[in-house]
Amino acid sequence: MKSVLFLATALSIMTPAMAQTQTAQPAAAAGMPFLLQPWTGPHGGVPPFDRIEPQMFPPALELAFDRQRAEIRAIAGNPAPATFDNVIGALQASGEELDRVSAMFGLMTANMNSPAYQALDREWSPKFAALDDEINLDPKLFARIDAVYQSRASAKLTPTQLRLLERTWEGFVRSGAKLSAADKPKLAAINQELATLFTGFNQKLLKDEETALPATAAEMQGVPDGVKSAAKAAAAERKLTGYAIVNTRSAVDPVLTFADDRALRERVWRAFVNRGDNGDANDTNATIARIVKLRAERAKLLGYPTHANLRMADTMAVDPAKAEALMLRVWGPAVARVKEEVADMGVIAGHPIEPWDYLYYAEKVRKARYDLSEAETKPYFELNNMIQASYWAAEQLYGLKFTEITGSIPVFHPDVRVFEVTREGRHVGVFYRDDFARTGKRSGAWHTTYRLQRGFPTRQTVLNSNNNNFAKPGPGEPVLISYDDANTLFHEFGHAIHFLLQDVTYPGLAFTPRDFIEYPSQVNENWLLTREVLDRFARHYETGKPMPTALVEKIEKAQTFNQGYATVSYLSSAIVDMKLHTTADGVVDPDAFERETLAAIGMPREIVMRHRLPQFAHLFSGDGYSAGYYSYLWSETMDADTWAAFKEAGSVWDRQVADRFRSILLSTGNETDRAEAYRKFRGRDPDVGALLKKRGFPAN
């Protein structure tokens, strides 16, 4: 039953040789909806993205839901004594058709979000939630799961089977399986309403992000040519003259960093930070207030004091207080660093620093202190070179090879590129790249898995993707990205590496806790600024010459620059998230709660949260990161300590350390306890001192 208990987590967080190990796909049944048919083509079958139309989904989803229900009824009603194989194994093997159609539904509604797909999302998100509850709250099904669980001591299960059994049982309990007959409908009603609210929030935010501010050539003075080219293309798309600055981070940050016109920076900043908070049809405050209230009610119904306690029950941190303690330990040094950064900028600015000034004057300080500017480095961070850099690093560390496939794999947009991934001559997956922003595509950067690796019930390989929102230039122009963009590319690629290296038996043990899942991606960021990568791939887009040694050295010296800003903007969002979801009754005014919480923790006035509540999609487009935004810091603590392990080996390319990292932590999915796995890799728990050192903060 991956589609309900499992695949939903993925939609957040497939050579001739392969055909010999992949179980043959059955022929499509007559009359079966196209989207339910087994994927055909190379590499164990690939999604038919080029043939999908919105109207195909309703009949396919209806039938997929019915078939999933029939499979569950067969498992729950099996008259044979309950065993691991006929209950847990059967659940793992169920839902193949729903898996396929769900993967395509999630992909299309996130990347091709036309009005037709928005309507589908509004209609079907509550139906997905209802199916979840129908299965999770089925008393006959849980009785059989519980029977296997209670007899586990004498069942002679392997350690992997025992872990899957225990996690399945615990997952059903957290989802309400033990509730009374009177309380189960209450839980189902909450989940239904939440699903509708999540979709509504997402679509309101998307509307605000599709808006664009016009700008003149004079106002765009100082902005790099590549950014201006993208802004001109955005204006042409909207039938505007001059330039248009789309209300997304990838378009806004370069303007805030380089535009000399302070009034333009302020207009752009205000439009960006007020997404979802303008008192109009796209205002999200009432939606957020209702979501937080419903989450609190659900937690209480399930026996947890707060939503944070419920969400964190299956994480490495477990206790909200433990996560908050880590955040506050880093918060103090970060705020102190911000004060230093503001003082440095004030000397250059000659006036108080406002939030729309921070990136602009930070760039001036960087230039003055390190003789380094983003404009100087950007010509060396050409997108295709950085993609090749990420692939080269993955090959050096883990033996992964990426070979581009042209023409034979269907894609959902012409910009998408496809790569076959092999390791030691063996096919391990197909990797899709969707790098450019476009209307209808949600903002940000993310990793998606369309098909997971597994060994049961049949062996199957990975289909996954990285999705970015880089500004697409004009025809023939290079795609020059910032260091931060290149870092994001390596980060999201770290997720892809994690899933491509995975080697688990049961799909139910493929996904790790939320505060672990960011760890592999954050570790992967470290290789971007290594000399080996920069010397080979940071080549000037015009001359092809490698980045000069002097420039590399300046980048290395500036690695901890502006960490006060980066840490405070992130941590403020994470702390507000945790405090919001440890509010027992869930009664909040989002704007007031945000304002009062920030005042209580001493938020510097010169910085705004990276994600203000009205646009905090991590929290309110689904449950995924709610009470979980801290996980980036939790994961970074392990990341910094892991990078220290590579350094201690004498080379950050040490293959023995990389092999241990892969075999103990990356390939094992969730087959072993993640904290125990980390201790096995490092010999101890992670050291937060490594994180503070990496960010350039004193170890307090």
Say how far apart CA 220 and CA 632 lie, in whole Å: 34
Per the DSSP assignment, residues forming a β-bridge with 213 are 245
List, in order, residues 6 or more apart from 95 with CB less than 8 Å away. 1, 2, 3, 4, 7, 68, 71
Which has the closest alpha carbon to 92: 420, 460, 616, 530? 460
Q: Which H or E element spans position 197?
A: helix 183-209
Percent helix, strand, coil in the chain, to 5, is 60, 10, 35
Say how far apart CA 345 and CA 362 lie, in whole Å: 6
Q: Where are the alpha helices (DSSP H) in 77-156?
A: 90-93, 96-111, 115-136, 139-150
Nearest-5° Cα angle at 462, 459 to 465: 170
62 annotated active-site: no
Other residues' Cβ atoms within 10 Å of the Cβ of residue 593: 19
Q: The tokens of 573 are what?
A: 């969002």
Q: Which H or E element spans position 420?
A: strand 417-423
Provide the greatest CA pair distance for the chain. Answer: 80
Say how far apart CA 655 and CA 388 lie, in whole Å: 20
Which has the closest alpha carbon to 588: 600, 599, 597? 597
Which has the closest alpha carbon to 477: 297, 289, 233? 233
Which has the closest alpha carbon to 672: 451, 498, 513? 513
Say how far apart CA 288 and CA 350 lie, in whole Å: 40
List, in order, residues 6 or more apart from 541 with CB less than 8 Å away. 379, 380, 382, 478, 480
Q: Where are the alpha helices (DSSP H) in 278-420?
A: 285-301, 307-311, 320-349, 358-370, 374-377, 383-398
One of 492, 594, 636, 671 is an active-site residue; which one? 492
Catalytic residue numbers read 492
